[in-house]
Amino acid sequence: MLDIILIQDAKSGVKLLDYREESTPFKSEHSDIFTGFLSAMQNISKELNIGTVVLISTIGERGHNCILVPYNLIYVILLVDKDDSVDFWKKQGNKVASKFIETFGNNFSPYEVGRFKTFIPILKEICYNCDFHE
């Protein structure tokens, strides 16, 4: 099950959009911490030239997969249950990213975050059409 989708500007690390399922235990402040952590991980990967981080997994009763989908100027970050298909969610993350770039283009300012809230209804439509809620 999906908990969170974050859309992050790849260059600045700014969180452009945060979508959380109603049933998720994660709060908005968790998204901010998570976005900062992922920015740091991405910067370390670049600095060490070890490739792009695309998956972080946790184990245990509340284990999750954090799937990072690099796409053009953004990252789509999906936090899903550990038992969900990583390949399925990568595909869905690419659909979300493609639609985001189609909607806002390649020349958006990452600092106009309020503007990206208009993507939430589109994101919800994508979510419901790709069986996020089964």
**pLDDT for residue 134:** 42
Identify whether the C-beta of residue 70 lies closer than 8 Å to the C-beta of residue 77.
Answer: no
**Count of residues in the chain:** 134
In the chain, where are the structural domains located?
2-129
Q: What is the average per-residue pLDDT within 83-112?
A: 92
Q: Which are the contacts of 71, defined by CB distance < 8 A and separation ≥ 6?
A: 93, 94, 97, 98, 101
How does pLDDT run across 40-65, given as a tens digit for each residue? 777 777 788 877 777 778 888 888 88
- pLDDT of 102 > 90? The answer is yes
Which of the pair, 22 or 3, is modelled with greater confidence?
Answer: 3
**pLDDT for residue 23:** 67
Rounded distance, CA 131 to CA 115, Å?
27
Q: What is the pTM of this model?
A: 0.83
Residue 113 neighbours by CB distance under 10 Å: 14
**pLDDT for residue 17:** 92
Q: Does domain 2-129 have CATH number 3.30.450.60?
A: yes
How does pLDDT run across 15-36, given as a tens digit for each residue? 899 887 776 666 666 667 777 7
Nearest 5°: CA angle at 132, between 36 and 101?
55
Distance of CA 76 to the CA centre of its chain: 3
